């Protein structure tokens, strides 16, 4: 199964290079793999695996990883206390690498929402129980994602953006507007892969994986439910701010090793995902968008 996506910056459809492709297929398609995955998706094993990526020996994987996935390292700064000759102390330090100042521009038009992740996006103008990403099944609705009755009415039938981060991507996530945090809570769960191969085999992953929910009151887009979804081998979801007030484009946090997803849900009638995201979502295809580029417009 090839995973195709539309690269907005290159105006072209591309085929995704999947890290651990054979392993994901085996875990979710093979009988014995499915048996093993029931253990792997539980917190202790995924967290331990994530921890191993912070050991000094793990940095030996970095050069081959960069070469295989053609990562443009001139866009990133070395880990604090390191230099270009010895940039990272571990694979996790490389994994949460930061962009150089000016490497990405944050959309300055306040009627447009900037991309909060550098990722592959699906988008919906209104999310209801019958919406599916990207195959049959009901696993994207506010009730299951938020797991909190307090916010169900606020985000009922609202717009939704889903940003899937591959292991090769920049793994820090950012605020899409200026505002304040009005709620934050964690939802316990599993650590399934968020790869489309896994999603096709198990359709409730987004609502059963571990996640953290932050409710934002923003200046231009109303209330937003900002949901970070953990995935297989993600050791931790880290919030790098105090979750009180925030500014447009400011870093919110980062994922340690693994594939991950950020989902943003809005209030009905406040904004809509960008036209190309909606068009490619209808085709069952994600749109790859750089951090800070437009992903939605104010209504």
Higher pLDDT, 219 or 207: 219
- What is the arithmetic mean of pLDDT over 71-90? 95
Would you list the domain boundaries of the chain? 1-299
Instruction: Give the closest residue to 135 by CA, choosing from 208, 191, 197, 227.
Output: 197
Residue 283 has pLDDT above 50, yes or no: yes
Tens of pLDDT, residues 242-264:
999 999 999 999 988 766 889 99
Structure confidence at residue 209 as a pLDDT band (50, 70, 90): low
Lowest mean pLDDT among 201-210, 221-230, 266-275: 201-210
Instruction: Give the closest residue to 154 by CA, choosing from 265, 262, 273.
Output: 265
In percent, how much of the chain has pLDDT > 70? 75
Query: Does the reported pTM lie above 0.75?
Result: yes
Tens of pLDDT, residues 120-168:
999 999 987 666 555 433 456 677 788 889 999 999 999 999 998 888 8
Whole-number pLDDT of residue 191: 47
Residue 110 has pLDDT above 60, yes or no: yes
Whole-number pLDDT of residue 271: 98
Whole-number pLDDT of residue 131: 61
Strands across the sheet containing 237-239: 172-174, 251-255, 237-239
Higher pLDDT, 144 or 192: 144
Whole-number pLDDT of residue 29: 47
């Amino acid at each position: 199964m090839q995973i195709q996506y539309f690269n907005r910056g290159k105006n072209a459809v591309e085929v995704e290079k999947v890290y651990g492709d054979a392993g994901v297929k085996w875990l979710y398609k093979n009988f014995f793999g499915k048996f093993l995955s029931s253990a792997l998706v539980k917190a202790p094993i995924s967290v331990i695996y994530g921890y191993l990526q912070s050991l000094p020996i793990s940095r030996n994987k970095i050069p081959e990883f960069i070469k295989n996935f053609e990562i443009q390292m001139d866009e990133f700064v070395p880990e604090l206390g390191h230099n270009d000759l010895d940039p990272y102390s571990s694979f996790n330090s490389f994994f949460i690498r930061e962009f150089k100042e000016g490497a990405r521009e944050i959309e300055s038009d306040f009627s447009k929402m900037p991309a909060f992740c550098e990722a592959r996006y699906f988008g919906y103008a209104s999310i209801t129980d019958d919406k599916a990403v990207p195959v049959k099944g009901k696993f994207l609705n506010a009730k299951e994602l938020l797991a909190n009755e307090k916010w169900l009415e606020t985000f009922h039938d609202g717009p939704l953006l889903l940003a899937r981060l591959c292991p090769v991507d920049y793994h820090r996530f950012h605020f899409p507007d200026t505002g304040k945090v009005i709620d934050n809570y964690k939802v316990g769960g599993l650590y399934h892969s968020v790869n489309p191969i896994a999603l096709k085999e198990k359709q409730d992953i987004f609502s059963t994986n571990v996640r953290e929910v932050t409710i934002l009151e923003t200046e231009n887009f109303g209330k937003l439910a900002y949901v970070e979804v953990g995935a297989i081998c993600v050791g931790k979801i880290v919030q790098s701010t105090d979750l009180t007030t925030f500014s447009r484009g400011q870093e919110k946090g980062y994922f340690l090793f693994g594939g991950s997803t950020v989902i943003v849900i809005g209030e009905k009638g406040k904004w809509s995902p960008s036209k190309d995201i909606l068009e490619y979502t209808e085709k069952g295809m994600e749109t790859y968008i750089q951090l800070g580029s437009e992903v939605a417009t104010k209504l």
